[in-house]
Amino acid sequence: MLTGSKTTFKVRQMLPDIKERMLSQTGVNARSRDLFGLRCLPGECVLQRAVMVRKKLTAREGRGWLSGTLFCTHFRVAFVPQDSPKPDDNADPVLLGDHDVALASIEKVVVVGPNRTKLVTPNSSLKFTPEELVLYCRDMRVVCFLFDRLTPESQVQEMTYSIAKTYQPPKPGSVLSFQNAALGSVEMKQFLSNRRRDAHMNWFESASDWEQELERCGATSWRVSSVNDRFEMSTSLPRFIVVPQKVLDTELKKSFAHFNEGRIPRWCWRHPRGSDLLRMASFQNNIYHEKDDIRNLEMILFGCQSSLCVVVELGEELPSPADIQLAHSRLRALCLGDISTSMSVPDDKWLSTLESTHWLDYTRSCLRKASEVACLLRGGHLTVALQEVEDRDMSCVVSSLVQVMCDPHCRTMYGFQGLVQKEWVMGAHRFYSRINYHRDNDKEEAPVFLLFLDCVWQLWSQYPSRFQLTEDFLLALHDSVHLPLFSTFLSNCQRERCKRSQNLGQCYTPVNGWRDVLHPDSSTDPSDPPLPPVWDWSLQYSKPRQSRFTQPVPPTPPLQPLLNGNLNTNPDKHRLTDAVPGSVFLLSRGTFSCPTNLLPWRNSSSSSSGVYKKSHRRALSSENVPGLERLLKAWALVEFPQALTSTSGPQGPLDPYEPLLPLLMGPCMGLWRECYLRGALHAQAFSHPLSANHLHPVERLAQEVQQLKDKLEQVSTSTDPTPPAVTAEPRRADTNLNQNTNNGTFLFPASRPQSAGALRAAPLPTSANQHTSRGAPAASAPQSRPAHKDTGGSSKHTFLFGHSSVIDAHPDQRYYSASSNAKLPKSNGPSLAS
Amino acid sequence: MEKSGSVDSLGSKRSSSRQPSVDSLSSTSTSRSDRSAQAKPPSAMSSDSVSTSAEFSPELRVKPKISAKQAIRDSDKEELQLLPNETVQDMAQDVTYFCPFTGALRGTVTVTNYRLFFKSMDRDSTFMLDLPLGVVSRVERIGNASSRDVSYGLVCKDVRNLRFAHKQMEDTLRKSIFEVLMKFAFPVSNGLQIFAFEYGQVFPENGWKVYDALSEYKRQGIPNESWRITKVNDHYELCDTYPSTLAVPVNIPDEELKRVAAFRAKGRIPVLSWIHPESQATVTRCSQPMVGVNGKRSKEDEKYLQAIMDANAQSHKLFIFDARPSVNAAANKMKGGGYESEDAYQNAELVFLDIHNIHVMRESLRKLKEVVYPNIEDSHWLSNLESTHWLEHIKLILAGALRIADKVESGKTSVVVHCSDGWDRTAQLTSLSMLMLDGYYRTIRGFEVLLEKEWLSFGHRFQLRIGHGDKNHTDADRSPVFIQFIDCVWQLTRQFPAAFEFNDYFLVTILDHLYSCLFGTFLCNSEQQRLKEEIPKRTVSLWSYINSQLEDFTNPLYVNYSNHVLFPAVSLRHLELWVGYYIRWNPRMRPQEPIHQRYKELLAKRAELQKRVDELQREVANRSASSASERPGSPTRSITPVQTFV
């Protein structure tokens, strides 16, 4: 960050050096990708290699050590465990293995010597041989490698130097060079260009995507407008925006000038009880409001509700980006300790220091605001418009939180991805500036998106079974933010993204929206690799890990794919029916008011305009305030328990659209330990590498079934479809149980790796060896996933019979037979034999 | 390392646990799935406070007939259900209860010889409060005599305060209902009997039979070549706070034990608590040596500790864990106590564990109560919590127990644990380390045995520490030592959620009946006193109640990892306040989601799978019996379970 020119110089100097030291450069040829056991990306260079290294496993990975070989390439620090099976040559490239760290996500490198600890910088020289190498990552992981005495000393030193010299982004352009390192090769570009977009989620890029969402929500009186198709109305708004049916594009065009950055009120979501959620920037006051404009403005603002609009001002009660940045940096410092001195906050000051970061306060205020909005929407038949000065930070947080709370679809993985696309990517959250990949814009840096993820985690931890996505998914998303590789995060708005991808030959057809077209020469263009979206999880995570992103058994209330917009059997006694058209209220600090200058045009035109008489309006508003306040109170103490029993009881069907209102008291706001404390070494000071010699009974059960299956196959030569189906099922249940451990359910904070520990001795078919136990569900999960949208019965059906193929069963067989002979409980033997 | 052999041991070696794990798991899960099918509503209460009291005050769950539990459940929420031999002492109309969460409520108060029952029909829903009088620590009259209303504050031992008010009695002779309450809340001070002696409920299980010292020692393999059972304390002559059955090193005759007893405070000589089944390393407990200012020594005591060390062939060292901070230990020399000097005890290493005394703990809990009840200041919650130091004390206790467990398990070294008298901190440390070391104690029955052994028989002074039926609420002997221990256990269950057979509710129930005086379990200070008072004959054991409805207390995801050693992370970063206990009165704090419900569903699914495995196994048996000849018949049979599933 501060190093500036000096480092730049260093690195430039170093470049030829790299070439000299490069152990090898992989060719274009796929077969030569495998180097010393490391599966390189096309074009990836291995700079250094150290053998006999042990990696410290975190609690989540099962604790203890894993020995193998450490590599430093010009893209990542890779660790290949011993005995890890040979990767399949034809498999798609995975950017990062399970044990790898991308150079760009490394924040600091520390080495531990016999009796000293040293922070390694690009130009520091080591006067001792490190015993331990600790990588502190931006995503708050701490990865620790231990060098054996058998590791050649030169390798240790060289490895440290290589990492120290390559990890730091020394100049703004380095992000680009990092991308090129990972994605720049011809082969990789070709591979990326041929990637197909995931059709399960809504990308919100084309008009039809938005129409699909309108249909899903049953928002019939809204339409998709392409008035901003060439970003002429607003540079930061997406090409397509949703506006009321009755407003014509020509009328619409006049309203842009009245809002900051032209961000007019736009539709985000419709509550099944008929309320609409809108977002807008603040009003431009220094503009003359013509009568015609006013009519249009009000029509846009009131949307399809004739009666009532509540403007929720997001500035005051929510943290500013600067607040968030400060809180997050304090939280980092607290959770990781002072990296250079290895000092950490003493235990007895932990709680108060955590409090003084204000991070939990900020998550609470976001959740509180979202709960308020959710309660308003539940009341039905009103418009809630979120207003923020720029409409690009907290309104993203609040609008998406509201939808996570209210819409079960947004609690599925694909639904959530669509939500992020809609509210953050298309809503033009300034990812690029806020994440500050280049370290050149410290003023703008603020992890607003990470705050949002924390809020979602809080919701998840209070209602784990109402989410189809899991903590693992949130963690994966959290970590991906720190990798400057994804188009999702590398631009500030759709316009920038389009500009970028146009170079790559995206083209637009009016019917299908954007479509990637491979230019004949794009693959040879060395400068700009195509950037994948973050949602292309296969680039980062192996199948077994991806299978942990979702609960294998969907939450009990069946997810209805379509809200028809009129879940209108609303018994709500608070419904505001008698409101007269034109009432606007401001919600601020939990109370409603009707300040005269709320809508600037009304203020200026109140005398002239006959439509909205001031006195008339005021009388109305005072009548409606109590009703609105009752809505808000719905989540306060008095009526809360009823809401709870209705959601929690096993009796009766529960209303899936009843918002998940979080508890916000001090003791209820938890620290996301799995994320912030996962790398903290002190957390394991007393923990002991537990002898992970027992399989979880469920996994044992799976093994037993596998054995039975093997026996069956021995007995009968005919292909019997049933046994494979049966074996698939138990393992599904096993993931299922483990998924619930998100809450920390098992004996060990991480139960999955525990089984892995036991299996480690056995030769394993996949490289992801601590997740091998998941291998089987991984194979089945993606195929069964689309079925989640259907009702439970049919999904089971597809599952059972979709996977009885012998091909599926074969890898499992290898895996299970290898370990089961040795490990099956003896008690089982007789019953099998008899 | 031990990877290959151990799975076998899970299936076959069953020294400590009751059943093979797979079987036990499947049997519990089937029964649970049946229960969940009955659609038991977790809490469909009319009003918030009602549900909290109904959910957590366990006396509501003590049903006259356990079989008819479901039927009664609805009705007993409406009306006061008297327990056997419970009699109504007084009733008063028009009493106001100032609920700190929902505001003032008017209703009726009933006082029996066991409880206070308040019922209000003020709002559209009924509100009830059901409070065993044993929970009351103090009753104070608030306000002056001249005002028209008389107000009473009830300070409770379970982290809450209640306030009532009623109109001034016109008939001055008539006592206020709260005067009546005071009489029955403090029976000991008023020459009455504690209700446990009158409670006549009969349970199918007899909890007094849960613990038998000899069979527990036998389970541990005692007597063996190095340890023997001695009857020297049969009549509590050696030590009146110890149990009659003690395990001591083989080569120390009873005569010498008496001389050792003379050197140990209150005669509490080092005796065996637990022995490692493989390494023979032991956990022994005692009180402080009577070293005094002059540094007195005892040849017999030194020889005795040497014998404890020699009993473990694996190590030539002995660790003495003194639970106190070293300053306090040194200060005890002035009173004739002190600690072992490493000069006198060859090969022994003394470690101080820095756990503070009962007074510090009492003060800490008092502060905690201020922070959590009734209202919580959200913006300063964490720093307020920190200022109580409660979690810090929990951490020190857990860390101490962890060091003991580590020395025994990893170091294969025997340890001696003591504090001053060896009945407070020592009990915490030995029982927690035993819980970490031995999976048996993590079962429901095993935990009951652990409490009976380490706490009750070894003389933790429950009567003094809790003050059952005693109005002297300022007694300096009161202290939440046992609550701290249960809190530590809860912390362990948080970190190892599947390692314990019992659930949160089990722990909360134990703490509730620690105060309720409904059961005889926690009465008196020592085994001798309990025998004298004929507690087992005249009262019901808490374990009778618990063991009669085990399914309420069972952790659905319990996995029998009996030969695992639990080493928890004890950093404050990994400890949490037990909100389910300390903040349970706050209606906003109730758990949002009945996660156990989902676990039960999953377990039901698992049971189903297990059933199919059994079917498959049977089929394999059939096939191998009939070999290849009957092949055409079997595929159809094997398809059937799949179809039923779909």
The answer to whether the CB atoms of A350 and B386 lie below 8 A apart is yes
Q: Exposure pattern of B326-354 as b/e (b: 16+ CB <10 Å)?
A: eebbeebbeeebbbbeeebbeebebbbbe
Task: Give the pLDDT band of residue A177 (cuts 50, 70, 90).
Answer: confident
- When mean pLDDT is compared across A215-224, A330-339, B542-551, B621-630, the lowest value belongs to B621-630
Q: Does domain A30-177 have CATH number 2.30.29.30?
A: yes
Mean local confidence (pLDDT), A412-434? 95
Chain B residues near residue A363 by CB distance under 8 angstroms: none
Query: What is the pTM assigned to this prediction?
Result: 0.79
Where do the DSSP E strands lie in A87-159? Answer: 101-102, 106-112, 117-120, 132-137, 142-147
pLDDT exceeds 90 at position A82: no
Secondary structure letter of residue A145 according to DSSP: E
Alpha-carbon distance of A449 to A424, in angstroms, equals 9
Give me the pLDDT at residue A782, please: 36
Alpha-carbon distance of B290 to A235, in angstroms, equals 84
Question: Per residue, what are the HEC states of A317-334?
Answer: CCCCHHHHHHHHHHHHHH
Mean local confidence (pLDDT), A447-458? 96
CA distances from B410 to B351, B430, B440, B567, B584 (A): 17, 17, 19, 11, 39
Which A residues in the span 48-67 are in contact with B, Cβ-Cβ below 8 Å? Answer: 59
| Cβ(A347)–Cβ(B395) below 8 Å | yes
Alpha-carbon distance of B328 to B346, in angstroms, equals 23
Residue to substitute from B43, B356, B557, B593, interface A, most A β-carbons within 10 A? B593
pLDDT exceeds 80 at position A417: yes
Rounded (5°) CA angle A480-A482-A488: 60
Contact partners, residue B358, CB within 8 Å, separation at least 6: B424, B465, B477, B479, B481
Alpha-carbon distance of A94 to A537, in angstroms, equals 9
CA distances from A699 to A64, A751, A820, A833 (A): 21, 11, 11, 21
Give me the pLDDT at residue A128, please: 84
Where do the DSSP E strands lie in A205-348? Answer: 222-225, 241-244, 266-270, 276-281, 308-313
Q: What is the pLDDT of residues A755-814, one digit of tens each?
A: 333 333 333 333 333 333 333 333 333 333 333 333 333 333 322 232 323 333 333 333
**Is residue B517 annotated as a catalytic residue, yes or no?**
no
Give me the pLDDT at residue A340, please: 54
Between A694, A725, A800, which is nearest B7 by CB?
A: A694
Give me the pLDDT at residue A268, please: 93
Between B7, B43, B612, which is nearest A726 by CB?
A: B612
Express as a percent the part of chain B with pLDDT over 90: 57
Mean local confidence (pLDDT), A359-373? 94
Domain ranges in chain A are 30-177, 207-503+529-547
Task: Give the pLDDT band of residue B57 (cuts 50, 70, 90).
Answer: very low
Mean local confidence (pLDDT), B9-24? 35
| Cβ(B328)–Cβ(B366) below 8 Å | no
The answer to whether the CB atoms of B642 and A708 lie below 8 A apart is no
Contact partners, residue A590, CB within 8 Å, separation at least 6: A372, A632
Between B48, B378, B605, which is nearest A665 by CB?
A: B378
pLDDT exceeds 60 at position A448: yes
Give me the pLDDT at residue A701, please: 56
Amino acid at A230: R
Of B99, B156, B419, B488, catalytic:
B419
Residue A715 in tokens:
């007995």
Alpha-carbon distance of A355 to B18, in angstroms, equals 46
Q: Considering only CA atoms, which of A40, A39, A65 is closest in space to residue A54?
A: A65
Report DSSP letters for B566-592, one per residue.
-----SGGG----HHHHTTTSGGGS-S
Neighbouring C-beta atoms of residue B474, cutoff 10 Å: 9
Give me the pLDDT at residue B486, please: 97
pLDDT exceeds 90 at position A366: yes
| Better pLDDT: A421 or A85 | A421
Alpha-carbon distance of A204 to B404, in angstroms, equals 59
pLDDT exceeds 80 at position A554: no
Task: Give the pLDDT band of residue B433 (cuts 50, 70, 90).
Answer: very high
Mean local confidence (pLDDT), A561-575? 40
Residue A102 in tokens:
């991308």
Residue B187 in tokens:
């029976």
| Better pLDDT: A423 or A704 | A423
The answer to whether the CB atoms of B595 and A464 lie below 8 A apart is yes
Chain B residues near residue A793 by CB distance under 8 angstroms: 646
CA distances from A683 to A59, A492, B502 (A): 9, 37, 26
Task: Give the pLDDT band of residue B596 (cuts 50, 70, 90).
Answer: low
| Cβ(A401)–Cβ(A327) below 8 Å | no
Q: Considering only CA atoms, which of B585, B595, B499 is closest in space to residue B156?
A: B585
Mean local confidence (pLDDT), A479-500? 88
Give me the pLDDT at residue B597, please: 65
Mean local confidence (pLDDT), A229-249? 91
Q: What is the pLDDT of residues B359-397, one digit of tens each?
A: 999 999 999 999 998 888 888 999 999 999 999 999 999
Alpha-carbon distance of A141 to B88, in angstroms, equals 63
The answer to whether the CB atoms of B571 and A682 lie below 8 A apart is yes
pLDDT exceeds 60 at position B247: yes
Alpha-carbon distance of A482 to A102, in angstroms, equals 9
Question: Please, what is the average pLDDT of chain B?
Answer: 82
| Better pLDDT: A693 or B325 | B325
Mean local confidence (pLDDT), A491-511? 66
Neighbouring C-beta atoms of residue A646, cutoff 10 Å: 14
Out of A514-523, A697-706, A710-719, B391-400, give the one with best mean pLDDT. Answer: B391-400
Between A352, A465, A665, which is nearest B593 by CB?
A: A465
Give me the pLDDT at residue B56, please: 38
Q: Exposure pattern of A145-163 as b/e (b: 16+ CB <10 Å)?
A: bbbeeebeeebbbbbbbbb
Residue to substitute from A362, A707, A722, A800, interface B, most B β-carbons within 10 A? A722
Express as a percent the part of chain A with pLDDT over 70: 60
| Cβ(B155)–Cβ(B161) below 8 Å | yes
Chain B residues near residue A752 by CB distance under 8 angstroms: none
| Cβ(B255)–Cβ(B278) below 8 Å | no
Alpha-carbon distance of A658 to A273, in angstroms, equals 10
Complete domains list, chain B, with CATH: 83-185 (2.30.29.30), 207-597 (3.90.190.10)
Neighbouring C-beta atoms of residue A514, cutoff 10 Å: 18
At residue B433, φ and ψ (nearest 5 deg) are: -70, -35
Task: Give the pLDDT band of residue B142 (cuts 50, 70, 90).
Answer: confident
Q: Searching chain B, which residue's CA lies closest to the CA of residue A677?
A: B573
| Cβ(A296)–Cβ(A254) below 8 Å | yes
Question: Please, what is the average pLDDT of chain A?
Answer: 70
At residue A822, φ and ψ (nearest 5 deg) are: -80, -30
pLDDT exceeds 90 at position A188: no
Question: A463: exposed, middle or buried (C-beta count within 10 Å: 0-12, 13-18, 19+)?
Answer: buried
Q: What is the pLDDT of residues A27-74, one digit of tens each?
A: 444 444 556 678 888 878 888 888 888 888 776 666 678 888 899 988
Q: By three-state DSSP, how is residue A656 classified?
A: coil
Q: Considering only CA atoms, which of A368, A432, A427 is closest in space to residue A402?
A: A368
Q: Considering only CA atoms, which of A674, A676, A648 is closest in space to residue A660?
A: A648
Express as a percent the part of chain B with pLDDT over 70: 81
Chain A residues near residue B613 by CB distance under 8 angstroms: 701, 704-705, 708, 730
Secondary structure letter of residue B412 according to DSSP: -
The answer to whether A8 faces chain B, any CB pair under 8 Å, is: no
Alpha-carbon distance of A283 to B467, in angstroms, equals 67
Between B42, B410, B568, which is nearest A648 by CB?
A: B42
Out of A141-155, A551-565, B20-34, B622-636, give the one with best mean pLDDT. Answer: A141-155
Alpha-carbon distance of B58 to B60, in angstroms, equals 5
Q: Searching chain B, which residue's CA lies closest to the CA of residue A357?
A: B382
Q: What is the pLDDT of residues A10-20, one digit of tens each?
A: 333 344 444 44
Residue B442 in tokens:
């993590």
pLDDT exceeds 80 at position A631: no
| Better pLDDT: B212 or A826 | B212
Give me the pLDDT at residue B102, please: 80
Chain B residues near residue A687 by CB distance under 8 angstroms: 567-569
The answer to whether the CB atoms of A723 and B592 lie below 8 A apart is no
Q: What is the pLDDT of residues A381-403, one digit of tens each?
A: 888 999 999 999 999 999 999 99
Q: Considering only CA atoms, which of A325, A350, A348 is closest in space to residue A337?
A: A350
The answer to whether the CB atoms of B11 and A828 lie below 8 A apart is yes
Binding residues of B for substrate: 332-335, 357-358, 419-425
> What is the interface pTM, i.e. ipTM, of the complex?
0.81
Alpha-carbon distance of A413 to A659, in angstroms, equals 18
Mean local confidence (pLDDT), A257-263? 91
- Furthest CA-CA distance within chain B: 100
The answer to whether the CB atoms of A693 and B7 lie below 8 A apart is yes
The answer to whether the CB atoms of B573 and A677 lie below 8 A apart is yes
Q: Considering only CA atoms, which of B473, B351, B485, B324 is closest in space to residue B407?
A: B351
Ramachandran bin of A518, using left for φ above 0, alpha for ψ from -120 to 50, beta for the remaining angles: beta
- When mean pLDDT is compared across A89-103, A615-629, B187-201, the lowest value belongs to A615-629
Lookup result for tokens 């370290």: A439
| Better pLDDT: A119 or A582 | A119
Closest Cα in chain A, distance from residue B189 (Å): 39
| Torsion sign over Cα A754, A756, A759, A760 | negative
Give me the pLDDT at residue A118, please: 84
Contact partners, residue B643, CB within 8 Å, separation at least 6: none
Chain B residues near residue A746 by CB distance under 8 angstroms: 496-498, 557, 559
